[in-house]
Amino acid sequence: MNDISIVRKFNRTVTQRIGVLDAQFLGRHRSLGASRLLYEIGISGAEVRDVRSRLGLDSGYMSRLLRTLEAEGLIIMRSSLNDARVRTVSLTKDGERELKVLDVLSDEVAGSILEPLSEKQRRRLIEGMEIVEKMLTAGLIVMEVVPPESRDARSCIESYFAELNDRFEDGFAPGDSISASDSELTPPNGYFVVARIHDEAIGCGALKCYPDHGEIKRMWVSKTCRGLGAGRKILSYLEHIAREKHIPLLRLETNKALTEAQAMYRSSGYEEVVAFNNERYAHYWFQKHI
């Protein structure tokens, strides 16, 4: 059996086992799509566009599901107070009760999958599910070059600086580090890359361009998304940009506290070299011919 056949067989087994094919998912007189939509809206409510992005739904199908839930009295649709063009959706009291029922029934289905198995089989299944979930999520990561002053870029940089400040022995002050200003990261001087999953920024990286080399800067991935290979994808994307711009050599420096970054750079073909700048926070310097 080849890889494609295995994936298709897996999909058939899973969809049948968890009830995806049932017109009345979990016996609640609605489809899985409508039930999942209730879960994504949640107790705190959400913007319609955010929910649609997270679920990857066609706008027409999304509208039909929302109308169905609204007709059942489970949700309320409103225009945002800040922007009338933005629609928000929240659960009614009946919707909140229905969500609690769905949670209980979903737990029962999960339990029914585990119950017939031995302890060893359970552990293997759970470990396999964790791996599958990670790999499927990793496949959703997309890269985009964005202006360094954009909202997503700013959000990533703020999180990046905050983490460096927590992890470095003496904290981190951006003004004491070698610059990577907006102008230096705007084409053709440089490029700022954001990694996203479902339109949510989960990591970033940047490239400063010089005639004879480039410098990798601002490499960061959200803690919630580590282990998905996002950092390596960002690095590979920056290398791709460098090749397109005919930059023959890439350089970067890193702090001793960032052991994961050091390991990634070494395994990606970067060689440790003597210090090529006076970066205050650096303990290791690397370069790679591309």
Q: Which 3 state secondary structure label does DSSP give 287?
A: strand
**Length, in residues, of the chain:** 290
Of residues 208, 205, 200, the one with CA closest to residue 249: 208
Query: What's the distance, Cα to Cα, between the start and end of the chain in Å?
Result: 38
Give the Cα separation of 189 and 211 in Å (integer): 10
Give the Cα separation of 161 and 152 in Å (integer): 14
What is the model's pTM? 0.80
Task: Please list the pLDDT of the chain residue by residue as tens digits (290 residues).
Answer: 788 998 899 889 888 888 777 878 888 888 888 999 999 999 999 999 889 988 888 889 999 999 999 999 999 999 887 777 889 999 999 999 999 999 999 999 999 999 999 999 999 999 999 999 989 889 999 999 999 999 999 999 999 999 999 999 999 999 999 999 999 999 999 999 999 998 899 999 999 999 999 999 999 999 999 999 999 999 999 999 999 999 999 999 999 999 999 999 999 999 999 999 999 999 999 999 99
Q: Which 3 state secondary structure label does DSSP give 180?
A: coil
Contact yes or no for 33/65 (Cβ under 8 A): yes
Contact yes or no for 67/74 (Cβ under 8 A): no
**Residue indicated by tokens 């002050």:** 173
